Structure 1
Amino acid sequence: MSKTILIDTSRCTACRGCQIACKEWHGLPANKTYQVGWGSHQNPQDLNPNNYKLVRFSENLDNGVVRWNFFPDQCRHCEIAPCKETGDMYIEEAIVQDEKTGAILYTDKTKGFSKEQFEEIRESCPYNIPRRQEQTGLMVKCTMCNDRIHNGMPPACVKSCPTGAMQFGERADMLKFARERLAVLKKDWPEAMLADPDSVNVIFLLIDKPEHYHKYAVAQANIGPLTKQQFLATLARPFKAMKG
């Protein structure tokens, strides 16, 4: 059974403790950022090779009142990961999935992807997560703190959250808790929903419309009974078979 992170946005205060904890655990350097001309408290402006996690700020008018929505963006660690399925078409096991945790991990082999192949992998992700270090060519993103999990510790972002907005545990337990919490929130927030709970291992609980958080808050397409992840994985398998 894979591990799952539940992110309850109703409890997120945008303290950005998770964002900093992620940078510290992975030893990521600071970014040179600018507020002038950006007009947002969000910092930096987007995910990048030095930020695997980013608390996004979104302002929306609700009956004339400004509402702030906060979204701690990161890799969703898909059950069937289109980035892995696409990457396997070019370099097998450059992107792997940990059998114990379900974490999707980018290895040093990702340096072998060309820029064009990287862009194809990035475009396959319905959440626009993969990033690439220009100097080395290495692909990077959230690892779910896979090393911490294997040593009996929760992900750094979960550990640092002061409000309980992030919970971590076995997938079945987190799904049960998420649905119970959703039922409670729907009483006051009828738009509340779980973002793609059946296909990802980082589940967001939203209390507003997804587009009021982030363009990629939910998967960008559903194709018939298949999610976009499953559809892309189905397309990739014949190519893998031909390659083998």
Structure 2
Amino acid sequence: MSKTILIDTSRCTACRGCQIACKEWHELPANKTYQVGWGSHQNPQDLNPNNYKLVRFNEHLDNGTIRWNFFPDQCRHCEIAACKETGDMYIEEAIIQDEKTGAVVFTAKTKGFNKDQFDEIKEACPYNIPRRDEKTGLLSKCTMCNDRIHNGMPPACVKVCPTGTMLFGEREEMLKLAKSRLTQLKKKWPEAQLVDPDSVNVIYLLIDKPENYHEFAAVESNLGPMSKKQLFATLARPFKAMKG
């Protein structure tokens, strides 16, 4: 059974401890950031090869009241990983999915993808996650701290979270907890929802509409009769056909 991270945004204070812990564990270099002219407390401005995790800030008016939404953005570790399906067309096992944990991991082989191939991989991701280091050619993103999990430790971001925003465990256990928390939050926040819980292993619990957090917070919800699981399978199907 795969592992799952539950991110309850109702508890996030934007301390950014998760963002820093991720950088420290993966020994990622600092980014040059700018406050003046950017107009936001969010830094850096976007995910990049040196930031696998980024706490996004969204400020908007809600019935005349300023409202802040915080969104610790990262790879969702999709059960059907379109990035892997796309990458496998060009370089087998450059992107792998750990059968034990469900973590989708970019390996050193990803430096073999050219820019056009990377663009395809990025476009296949419905959450706009993969990034490319222009100097090395390596593709990068959150690994779910797969190495820590195999050594009996939780992901670094989960370990340092001081508010209980992030929790980690067996998928069924986290799904049960997510649904329980959702029931409680809906009493105060009618818009509360779980984001794509059937398709990903990093599940977000939101108390506002997804678009009030981040443009890529959720797969488009208006899918008609198609379930999100079916959507992910549809995303992957053309790549499998091309490989065959």
Q: How many residues align?
A: 241
Aligned position for 2:46: 46
| Cα distance, 1:80–1:223 mapped onto 2, change above 3 Å | farther
1:223, distance to aligned residue in structure 2 (A) = 7.5
Q: Alignment partner for residue 236 of structure 2, among 213, 224, 233?
A: 233
d(CA) in 1 for partners of 2:191, 2:135: 43
> Aligned partners of 1:197, 1:217: CA distance in 2, in Å?
13
* Larger CA deviation: 6-15 vs 230-239: 230-239
Q: Tell me by how many angstroms 1:92 deviates.
A: 1.0
What secondary structure does 1:37 align onto? coil
1:240 shift after superposition: 1.5
Residue 192 of structure 1 contacts residue 209 of structure 1 at CA under 8 Å; is this kept in 2? yes
Structure 2 distance, partners of 1:226, 1:165, is 27
Change (3 A) 1:224 1:118: farther
Q: 2:208 & 2:69 partners in 1: Cα distance?
A: 8
Is residue 85 of structure 1 aligned with residue 88 of structure 2?
Answer: no
Which whole-Å CA distance do the structure 1 matches of 2:183 and 2:227 have between them? 25
Alignment of 1:1-244 (within 5 A): 1-220=1-220, 222=223, 224-227=225-228, 228-241=231-244
Q: Which amino acid aligns with 1:88?
A: D
TM-score, reference length from structure 2: 0.97
Equivalent residues of 1:223, 1:231 under 8 A apart: no
Distance in structure 1 (CA, Å) of the matches to 2:162 and 2:211:
26
CA distance in structure 2 between the partners assigned to 1:230 and 1:49 by the alignment? 28
| SS across alignment from 2:83 | helix
Q: Which moved more, 1:213-222 or 1:149-158?
A: 213-222
**SS at 1:18's partner residue?**
helix
CA offset at residue 119 of structure 1? 0.5
One-letter code aligned to 1:44: P
CA contact (8 A) 1:111 1:137 kept: yes
Which stretch of structure 1 is more off in the superposition, 172-181 or 226-235?
A: 226-235
Of 230-239 and 214-223, more deviation after overlay is shown by 214-223
Say whether the 8 Å CA contact 1:19–1:55 is kept in structure 2: yes
- What is the rounded CA distance, in whole Å, between the counterparts of 2:227 and 2:107 in structure 1? 28
CA contact (8 A) 1:12 1:165 kept: yes
Whole-Å separation in 1 of the counterparts to 2:34 and 2:93: 38
Structure 2: state its 5+ residue gaps.
none
RMSD over aligned Cα atoms: 1.0
Per-residue CA deviation, residues 165-197 of structure 1 (Å, 9 max, x unaligned), is 000000000001000100000000000000000
C-alpha separation in 1, matches of 2:124 and 2:224: 14
Q: Which amino acid aligns with 2:41?
A: H
1:152 counterpart SS class: coil
Q: Is the 8 A contact 1:85 1:232 kept in 2?
A: no
TM-score normalised over the length of structure 1: 0.97
Structure 1 consecutive aligned stretches of length 4 or more whose deviation exceeds 6 Å:
none
